[in-house]
Structure formats: structure tokens, C-alpha cells
Amino acid sequence: MKERTGKLTIKGSPLTLLGEEIKVGQKAPDFTARTAFSPDTKVTLDSSKGKIRIFSVSPSLDTSVCETQAIRFNQEAAKLNDVEIYHITVDLPPAQARFCTNQLEGSAKVKMVSDYAEKSFGMNYGIIIKEWQVLSRGIFVIGKDDVVKYVEYLPEVAQLPNFDKALEAVKSLM
């Protein structure tokens, strides 16, 4: 397994990412993860085939930065027709469901996906933090053709993604 150093920190302390870095223009890797409200239901790249997708990735919904990221994309989801937005963490599905009920007031437009079991998304998208075995923070925009159109790996775990650039990438595909 490839290890990438010098790409990620937490408050200045270095961390290691596992897996290959995804690049714009490549075919999006497949993955298998689980939905928040039905942990036996699996989500794959093909689950949203033919749609524009945003994969919003964060370490845990139990942190304020991750919460802010999920809430912002939930707000954007209401404005974007024919776009699937997934927020992916390694939080257990019941914790994700509770977040939707409490923080999103039961009106989740973004789909919560848990990568806790297989860590397939994290490995295939090169976004697992080796030291913590959680996902780092990042954004991936995938076109209807399954090609990666936008990628942002955050260099600092506590930093929010550039929402405007990700949304510009999505709107350019509509």
C-alpha cells in the first residue's frame, strides 16, 4: 500500500495518507460503503451512475469542522438538481443517522455514507489517515461519465474545503 507523507498535517504535526492520490481526468475508482439509515445497504460508484456526484469526505461528524462541511453541502444539495451529494466518514451508520436527525433536523438532502467496514472509499481515493485509521478531509467531483472533474485534498485536517471551487466544478458540468 502506498504511503504519502508531507501532504497532510494536524496543527502542524505531519500525518500519513494511505493510497494513491486521485487526479482530475482519471476514471473515478469504484468503492463499497454503507448508508447511514440502512447499514446493510451498500453504496458503490454505480449507485449514482449517470449523475454528477460530489463526494464530501471528512474524519468524523463529531467535530465542528466536519459538522460545518456536512451542513454546508446539505444546504447546497437542496439547490442542485440532478446532483448526488454524499458525505463520507468512518463514523458508524447509527452515529451518522443521529447527526442527520439532530444537526440536519431530519431534512438530510446529502446522503450520509459510512466507510467504517471496508474502508474501500478511503483506500481507493487515497484519503485514509494512517495514524488514526479515519478519512482525511477532501472533495471529489465526479461527472456523469465517471471521470474525476475536481479534487481537493486538504493539507490541514482542521481546514474547511473550498466550497466555491467545488460548486463551480459542479455547475460547469450542468
Catalytic residue chosen out of the listed positions 66, 129, 154, 170: 66
- Cell numbers standing for residue 12: 502542524
Residue that the C-alpha cell 444539495 belongs to: 77
100 catalytic? Reply is no
Strands (E), 19-135: 32-35, 42-44, 52-57, 83-89, 111-114, 128-129, 134-135
Rounded CA separation 72/110 (Å): 10
CA 116-73-28 angle, 5° bins: 60
Distance of CA 69 to the CA centre of its chain: 10
Residues with active-site annotation: 66
